[in-house]
């Protein structure tokens, strides 16, 4: 017993000492400033500030690569992918896509502002003529007019097993008559009983499971008038899935029949000084599970909702944004969206509510808890019964301070702040209200 105890004590002491040494070494390494970095194989954290980096220019009439569609843009990013990244400089012109530009890691897309416009062709929708099983890599359509090999498509149907919606994004890669091969297998059943269709709908810029990408100074136009809607969980002018460390700067995203900018389960995304407007869906859509989004200095105008925090978006910041004339809500936040800060935003002319804390009663505690509203101006919200800030459901632990609610129209039945009867621990400090019929309607006290 004595020897066994000694061995255990020795091992425990040795392991503890080793862990302490490792922790100390890590701490010291983090405290050491890297003032003169070198390019070291495998080191993705520190990089010298090179005066010139690998760049490919794309233009409609001149450039390293010449063209005006998705193929030339895709060729440019694929070339840079071979060498670990670089910049695609998009020269002035209009680039009309028949498929998404799929972005690899380490790429920078640098446009020429309003003179570089990426748009898309009109969409078409065709019914499937034959059943396709989940293991198939082909479909047969009733007709093929308007579709070409190389087109980006979305296949939609009612799931034959449970009635839910099936959505599959693919590219047409081969054809014989009305029969098309896809770039990947279906992995879901498309049976005629579910009324399956094929539509030429796709995001303009998209990526999945990539990181460290910068998109700046470019204009994206979704050609909304000639395209059907594509839900923001699948598309948008920009659509990302499972990506990290993307930055959008000085990007104009407009006229998409869906969302302007949408990213799902993407972390450390920065949207800076962008203009997302006149989209059928959401201006900016930090999608489910996205951690630490930073949304600063943007203009979000005339969308259905300006800023939509989806499910489980945490530790984000939205500040100094101008959010105007959105048809339903300026800002909507709800299902498990916690620990976010919304500061110094101007929210004006929202069709229903300026800032909505949704009643997402799907679980024991799925509300937008522990968020901060600070220094925002909420002006002219909703109709004659409009509400500037509406806290619904069991939302709790909110801080609202130094916000200004103003109404320049007649007071009518308008409310500055409504707090639901089940809300808890709502801290109010130095908020002001002007021009509304009711400044604060606290249903907890009724």
> Residue 333: CA atoms inside 13 Å, Cβ hemisphere, count?
29
Among 136, 159, 149, 209, CA closest to 180: 149
> What average pLDDT does the segment 263-288 reach?
98
Q: Give kind and range of the element (H or E) at residue 17.
A: helix 2-31
What backbone phi and psi angles, to 5 degrees, belong to 393?
65, -145
Note the pLDDT of residue 33: 87
446 pLDDT higher than 90:
no
The token pair at 78 is: 């694929």
Note the pLDDT of residue 28: 54
The token pair at 434 is: 């002007």
Domain boundaries, the chain: 125-199, 202-445
Lowest mean pLDDT among 40-54, 318-332, 375-389, 400-414: 40-54
11 — pLDDT class (breaks 50, 70, 90): very low
Q: Give kind and range of the element (H or E) at residue 8.
A: helix 2-31
196 — pLDDT class (breaks 50, 70, 90): very high
Lowest mean pLDDT among 36-45, 236-245, 365-374: 36-45
> Residue 349: CA atoms inside 13 Å, Cβ hemisphere, count?
11
> What average pLDDT does the segment 378-392 reach?
98
> What average pLDDT does the segment 246-268 reach?
98
Residue 285 Cα distances to 18, 103, 239, 266, 430, angstroms:
45, 19, 10, 11, 30
> What average pLDDT does the segment 417-430 reach?
97
Residue 264 Cα distances to 152, 206, 413, angstroms:
20, 11, 38
Q: Are 322 and 339 in contact (CB under 8 A)?
A: no
Please calculate the CA angle 96-102-107 and round it to the nearest 5 degrees: 105
In terms of DSSP bridges, do strands 138-140 and 179-182 run parallel, antiparallel, or are they unpaired?
Answer: antiparallel
What tens digit of pLDDT does each residue of 12-48 get?
444 444 444 544 444 554 567 898 899 898 887 888 9
276 — pLDDT class (breaks 50, 70, 90): very high
**Strand, helix or coil at 81?**
helix
**Strand, helix or coil at 71?**
helix
Collect all residues with Cβ–Cβ distance below 8 Å to 102 and sequence separation of at least 6. 74, 77, 206, 207
Domain 202-445 has CATH 3.30.70.2860: no
Q: Which residues pair with 349 in a beta bridge?
A: none
Distance, C-alpha 440 to centroid of its chain: 33
What backbone phi and psi angles, to 5 degrees, belong to 228?
-75, 170
Q: Write the DSSP symbol of residue 422.
A: T
- Supply the pTM of this predicted model: 0.91
Note the pLDDT of residue 31: 65
Between CA 64 and CA 57 the distance in angstroms is 5
Note the pLDDT of residue 30: 58
In terms of DSSP bridges, do strands 261-264 and 238-241 run parallel, antiparallel, or are they unpaired?
Answer: parallel
Q: How far apart are the first and last CA of the chain?
A: 69
134 pLDDT higher than 50:
yes
The token pair at 344 is: 């110094």
Lowest mean pLDDT among 44-53, 155-164, 209-218: 44-53
Please calculate the CA angle 106-110-111 and round it to the nearest 5 degrees: 150
Concatenate the DSSP letters of all residues of 148-184 into one string. -TT-EEEEEEE-TTT-PEEEEEEEEEEEETTEEEESS
In terms of DSSP bridges, do strands 138-140 and 261-264 run parallel, antiparallel, or are they unpaired?
Answer: unpaired
Collect all residues with Cβ–Cβ distance below 8 Å to 281 and sequence separation of at least 6. 229, 231, 232, 236, 256, 257, 258, 259, 260, 262, 303, 304, 305
What tens digit of pLDDT does each residue of 138-165 get?
999 999 999 999 999 999 999 988 889 9
362 — pLDDT class (breaks 50, 70, 90): confident
Q: Which CATH number fits domain 125-199: 2.40.30, 2.60.120, 3.40.50, 2.40.50?
A: 2.40.30
């Amino acid at each position: 017993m004595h020897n066994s105890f000694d061995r255990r004590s020795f091992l425990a002491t040795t392991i503890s000492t080793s862990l302490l040494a490792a922790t100390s070494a890590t701490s010291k390494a983090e405290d050491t400033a890297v003032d003169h970095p070198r390019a070291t194989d495998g080191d993705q954290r520190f990089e010298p500030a090179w005066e010139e980096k690998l760049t490919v220019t794309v233009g409609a009439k001149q450039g390293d690569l010449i063209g005006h569609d998705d193929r030339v843009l895709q060729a440019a990013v694929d070339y840079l992918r071979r060498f670990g990244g670089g910049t695609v400089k998009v020269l002035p012109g209009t680039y009309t896509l028949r498929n998404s530009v799929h972005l690899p890691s380490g790429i920078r897309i640098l446009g020429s502002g309003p003179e570089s416009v990426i748009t898309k062709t009109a969409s078409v929708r065709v019914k499937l003529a034959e059943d396709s099983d989940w293991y198939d890599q082909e479909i047969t359509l009733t007709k093929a007019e308007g579709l070409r090999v190389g087109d980006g498509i979305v296949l939609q149907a009612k799931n034959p097993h449970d009635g839910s919606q099936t959505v599959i994004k693919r590219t047409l890669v081969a054809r014989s008559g009305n029969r098309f091969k896809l770039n990947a297998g279906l992995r879901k059943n498309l049976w005629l009983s579910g009324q399956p269709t094929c539509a030429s709908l796709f995001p303009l810029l998209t990526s999945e499971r990539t990181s460290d990408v910068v998109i700046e100074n470019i204009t994206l136009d979704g050609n909304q008038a000639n395209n059907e809607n594509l839900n923001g969980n699948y598309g948008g002018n920009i659509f990302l899935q499972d990506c990290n460390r993307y930055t959008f700067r000085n990007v104009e995203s407009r006229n998409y029949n869906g969302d302007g900018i949408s990213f799902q389960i993407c972390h450390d995304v920065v949207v800076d000084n962008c203009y997302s407007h006149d989209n059928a869906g959401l201006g900016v859509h930090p999608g489910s599970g996205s951690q630490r989004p930073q949304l600063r200095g943007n203009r979000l105008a005339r969308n259905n909702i300006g800023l939509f925090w989806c499910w489980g978006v945490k530790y984000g910041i939205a500040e100094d944004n101008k959010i105007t004339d959105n048809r339903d809500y300026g800002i909507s936040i709800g299902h498990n969206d916690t620990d976010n800060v919304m500061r110094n935003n101007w929210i004006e002319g929202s069709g229903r509510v300026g800032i909505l804390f949704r009643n997402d009663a799907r679980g024991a505690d799925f509300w937008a808890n522990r968020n901060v509203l600070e220094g925002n101006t909420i002006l002219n919200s909703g109709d004659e019964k409009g509400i500037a800030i509406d806290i619904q459901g069991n939302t709790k632990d909110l801080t609202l301070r130094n916000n200004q609610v103003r109404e320049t129209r007649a007071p009518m039945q308008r409310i500055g702040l409504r707090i639901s009867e089940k809300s808890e621990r709502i801290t109010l400090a130095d908020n002001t209200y002007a021009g509304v019929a009711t400044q604060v309607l606290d249903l907890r006290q009724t």
